[in-house]
Amino acid sequence: MDRSRKATREGNEVTLQHMSPKEALLIGELVEQKLAQLQASIEQLKQTPEGSIDLQRRTKAFGECQRIEGETSGRFYDKLRRWLDRDIPLTKTPLHPPRQVE
């Protein structure tokens, strides 16, 4: 086995994963924009009857989705996106309505 090939491949992978400070700043700004848009859309949802009901059901099913102190914008965006995208479990409803006995 040629060890130099493996070392070169690993070196190339490290080089490809390197991000310049300017790239990191641009990605950070993009994440901040996406997070602001997502939070604005949630605020718009709160203004509609269907949206507010959906958010209440999500809060009841999964709990509040709050930002933890020290949490990065990227992590909070991912957590909030998952909270919104998760399917709400169906509640148990009776197969037949209760009978009226007189």
pLDDT digits (tens, 9 = 90+) for 37-56: 999 999 999 999 999 999 99
pTM of the model: 0.66
pLDDT digits (tens, 9 = 90+) for 8-40: 667 666 666 677 888 888 888 999 999 999 999
Q: What integer is the mean pLDDT of 59-81?
A: 92
Q: What pLDDT, on the 0 to 100 scale, is given for residue 16?
A: 63
**HEC states along the chain?**
CCHHHHHHHHHHHHHHHCCCHHHHHHHHHHHHHHHHHHHHHHHHHHHCHHHHHHHHHHHHHHCCCCCCCCCCHHHHHHHHHHHHHCCCCCCCCCCCCCCCCC
**CA pair distance 89, 62, nearest whole angstrom:** 10
